[in-house]
Structure 1
Amino acid sequence: MEALYSKLYDKYNKLKSKKISEIEEIGHDQEVKFVNYATASDELIEHLKSENERLEAQLNELHSEVDLMRSSRDEYRKLLNDECQKTKELFKEVERLQNLQQQEINSILTEGNSNSVRTRKQKNGDMQLGSFGATQVVLEDTSAGYGRKKLRLQHPVPQSDDANDSTRMRVSSGGCISTDIMLQNLLESLVGMKFGFVDEEKGLCLSAVHQSSGYSFSITWVSKAAEQEVELLYQVLSLGTIGGVAKEWMKEEIMFNLSMWPLFVKRVSQVIGM
């Protein structure tokens, strides 16, 4: 029996040692896994911390850019408001200068026409004035008591006394006007400029004004000998608001043949945008 107990005890010790070894091995494996897990966790935490710091720095940079953009936007908005105000003031000044220029041109036209007017009495009470090769003007008494008169400009055409009755402009109670005035109005609406005629010592002068830009010039009819072609003298009165885009020849005094008049009108129209 004692031998049997001894065998059982030895077997028990062997099993116990084996179990302890297995448990120790399992514990060691778990310890290694835990250490690896802890190391990986530490590395991940460090990576996340560095990534967080990078994102925070990027966020701060974006905040700085947004603040800078807002500051720039406010500055640009202020500059835009200032420019708008300056533009309004500039438009007002341009309009005022255009009005002054138009008044000066009208004054020049009126003064030039008053020097070339000659009157003659009619049996019907109308007063007509005309000149051969110069501006024709019709004046009509509208009030016998005050002697007020109406004055209109007409394109100069040499005519006989009989032809004057049908082509010279009359302003009567019915409000009729001549075909020359109608053609002049149609030409103004087509070209986009206002025209006026002045009889000067050096020849018949055409004054043109582009009202939207203030650009104005004069064309003088230069008479030549019978065998020579008529020439036109261009003189600028004011460049108005097209000074920055005007061609060099538009700023100078030039003379050209009558046959080049359509080309001249085309070039001017291209510049002023008609």
Structure 2
Amino acid sequence: MEAIYTKLYSKYTKLKKEKDRELENLNMEQELKFVNYVAAAEQLIEFVRSENDRLREQINELRSEMASMRVAKDNEKIQYQKLLMEDNRKIKELSDEIQRLQQLDREGSGFHASTNKGESRQIITVGDSLPDALDGSTIANQKRPRQSLPSIQAAVTMSPREELPTGPAQPSTSSYRYTEPACCRRNADISGDGAADISPAKCIFQDVFQWLLGMKFSIVTENEELCISALHESSGLSFSLTLIKNASEEPELVYRMLSLGTCERVAPEWMRDTVVFGPTMCAVFFERVIRAIKHRY
């Protein structure tokens, strides 16, 4: 029996050794695999970390570049805003200058007075206040033949009670020869053959001017020149306007006073002289004439 037990024990010991050897080999294989796995994981982690660092660095660079670009864009925007404000300011200045020039162009370049065949010359320069120029502002006055006028003060407003110097002898309206121009063939109130026999000549346009200004207008001949004669019947004020055409300059109108009538005391000095002015100042001229007529009361 003892021999059997010894044999069995030997066999058991042998099997146990083999089993332990197999387990040890298996453990070694598993350990080797685990080590390989750990090494691979560490390599992968290191790669991911390096890639992450690279990407972070790239992101930081992009952020820095974006910040610098944003700063540059902000600076550029500020510069553009400054340029826009400067352009708007220049445009506003140019617009104001254009409006000022247009206003000056509408108001005219000024009144000019000239001496014509022995009469006095009066030069009126119109500045910023054009309508006030007709009242005697900035006037250079020369002596009339055979009679002198007192110097004119700037911006003089005459009251109805003030006594003005008596002007020179006025030419008689009878010395004018009324001529019927080609455009004035018929009167608004007359038809038939009698329309061509009107003296002084009169047409629908003269009626319109009379309705607008309260003055009668006629075409007359003065010194072999055609001119317009204006008459305010209630006051007796009458004057003539002669058109002068220059080839190089704009046409001008020559004002000559014929009679002041009841406006003698209130008429400003310029109405007593010969005045030359441009067509653009016609509205101001007639405004001043009508004002003088109204001041006689």
Q: TM-score range by the shorter chain?
A: 0.3 to 0.5
Q: Which has the higher contact order (CA 8 A, sep 6+)?
A: 2
Q: Which has the higher helix share?
A: 1
TM-score using structure 2 length = 0.42
TM-score using structure 1 length = 0.46
Larger Rg: 2
